[in-house]
Amino acid sequence: MPTMHASSSEVYTIDAQGLDTRHLNQAVRKSVNNGHREIELLNVTGQRYIAAGLQGDLQIDIHGTPGNDIGAFMDGPTIRVHGNAQDGCGNTMNSGEIVVHGDVGDITGLSARGGRIFVRGNAGYRTGVHMKEFQGSRPIIVIGGSAGDYLGEYMAGGVVLLLGLGLEGGVHQADFVGTGMHGGVIYLRGEVRGIGREVAILDTTEEDRRFIEGLLKDYTKHFNVGVKDVGEGSFKKLIPVSSRPYGTLYTY
């Protein structure tokens, strides 16, 4: 049986040591069903799908290394990861926020349709792949450091902001940025090795800069850093230069 104890009337603590994916998630859901709104998970080591599909105003603090697909299909909660997250962080997330105090693996925010992901450090390959936006819903991913190849691959909507903090030589290793992208925007500080054929790099507008300013402020708040820690230097924006490039694919 999972070890569970409420460490205070506010925060409900679950020790994940020895629990597999299914039992840890059952314990989390059970505590939510019992009315807990703040949950703390200790000794997390690779359990997957944490907070998957959870709805509403919840705070989940994770200590350790959560497994793949953390926050998948999540709709509302805030997750703070005090460490690194693995692959598929925020997979198909609907709304809510994931704040990672370390690095994230590949395919962060894949197919997300809303919510926000803040990563203090670096991201792996294919960040934001297949993100989309609709009506008032617009997913946002903020990466403090750098990102791997295929950033924003097949992006159909949403925002990726890459701060390039600690970047050596001012050039991200990322190649094929925005390949297949046909919606949304990537704001970049620093050069990239290469971009997709469907996208172009443009200067930001006043409106873009105001928007970025707001996200930078949130970044400083989440990671408790000063304004000067989010770096200097202007951002460029990368956007698709065609729309619906395959709209006629099956019509002729």
- 8 Å CB contact between 194 and 172: no
Ranges within 11-40 binding another protein (CB under 8 A): 20-22
In angstroms, give the least distance from the CB of 51 to another protein. 16
Of 150, 154, 187, 235, the one binding another protein (CB under 8 A) is: 150
Secondary structure of the chain as H, E, C letters: CCCEEECCCCEEEEECCCCCHHHHHHHHHHHHHCCCCEEEEEEEECCCCCCCCCECCCEEEEEEECCCCCCCCCEEEEEEEECCCCCCCCCCCCEEEEEECCCCCCCCCCCCCCCEEEECCCCCCCCCCCCCCECCECCEEEECCCCCCCCCCCCEEEEEEECCCCCHHHEECCCCECCCCCEEEEEECCEECCECCCEEEEECCHHHHHHHHHHHHHHHHHHCCCHHHHCCCCCEEEEECCCCCCCCCCCC
Examine residue 122 and tell whether it contacts another protein (CB under 8 A). Answer: yes
Examine residue 48 and tell whether it contacts another protein (CB under 8 A). Answer: yes
Of 64, 71, 115, 157, the one binding another protein (CB under 8 A) is: 64
Of 12, 25, 94, 103, the one binding another protein (CB under 8 A) is: 103
Of 24, 72, 98, 106, the one binding another protein (CB under 8 A) is: 106
In angstroms, give the least distance from the CB of 148 to another protein. 7
Size of the site for another protein (CB under 8 A): 26
Name the one range near another protein by CB under 8 A: 82-90, 111-119, 161-169, 215-223. Answer: 82-90
Tokens of 113: 């349709």
Examine residue 124 and tell whether it contacts another protein (CB under 8 A). Answer: yes
Choose between 173 and 205: whose C-beta lies nearer to another protein. Answer: 173
Tokens of 102: 């370390």
Choose between 61 and 75: whose C-beta lies nearer to another protein. Answer: 61
- The phi and psi torsions of 57 (rounded to 5 degrees) equal -90, 90
Examine residue 152 and tell whether it contacts another protein (CB under 8 A). Answer: no
Of 7, 46, 56, 210, the one binding another protein (CB under 8 A) is: 46
Name the one range near another protein by CB under 8 A: 6-14, 71-79, 144-152, 228-236. Answer: 144-152
Q: Determine the distance from the C-alpha atom of residue 234 to the mean position of all C-alpha atoms in its chain, rounded to a whole number.
A: 22
Tokens of 239: 């956007």
Binding-residue pattern over the window 163 to 202 for another protein, x denoting contact by CB under 8 A:
----------x--x-----------------x--------
Examine residue 97 and tell whether it contacts another protein (CB under 8 A). Answer: no
Q: Determine the distance from the C-alpha atom of residue 113 to the mean position of all C-alpha atoms in its chain, rounded to a whole number.
A: 11
Interacting residues with another protein (CB under 8 A): 20-22, 45-46, 48, 64-68, 84, 86-87, 103, 105-106, 122, 124-125, 148-150, 173, 176, 194
